[in-house]
Amino acid sequence: MIVRTDAGAVKKIMGVALKLTRIGNSTGAVLPKEVLARLKVGKGDTVYLTETPEGYSLTAYDEQFARQVEAAEEFMQEYRDVLRELAK
């Protein structure tokens, strides 16, 4: 598993077993204390699981980054025809 800290550092954690448990009608993964400490997150915090070419990346929620992504998505939606032409 690749873990990115809020400072952007990338740490590889090998052999970490995650326990899956029922949460209401869903299934959740229990993160070990070591992983929570490296991510600097705790109960109630938001993290993102992103698929990468190497597997999956678990990152702590970054509100500023989320706003930037939202702005980029709005821009790409508004100018999709122009971007499509530029991509040719």
- % of the chain exceeding 90 in pLDDT: 33
Give the bridge partners for 20, in sequence order: 29
Mean predicted confidence (pLDDT) in 64-76 = 90
Cα 27 from Cα 42, distance rounded (Å): 18
pLDDT digits (tens, 9 = 90+) for 25-47: 999 988 888 888 888 899 988 88
3 or 48, which is more confident?
A: 48
- CATH (domain of 59): 2.10.260
Structure confidence by residue, pLDDT tens digits, 48-68:
888 888 888 888 877 778 889
Q: Which residues contact 41 (CB under 8 A, 6 or more apart)?
A: 47, 60
14 vs 76, higher pLDDT:
76
Q: What mean pLDDT comes out for the span 2-14?
A: 60
Within 10 angstroms of residue 59's Cβ, the number of other Cβ atoms is: 20
| Full domain range(s) for residue 80 | 2-86
Residue given tokens 């990346």 in the structure block:
57
Predicted confidence (pLDDT) at residue 13 exceeds the cutoff of 60: no
Chain mean position to CA 78 = 25
pTM over 0.95: no
What is the total count of domains within the chain?
1
Tell me the C-alpha distance between 80 and 52, whole Å.
Answer: 25
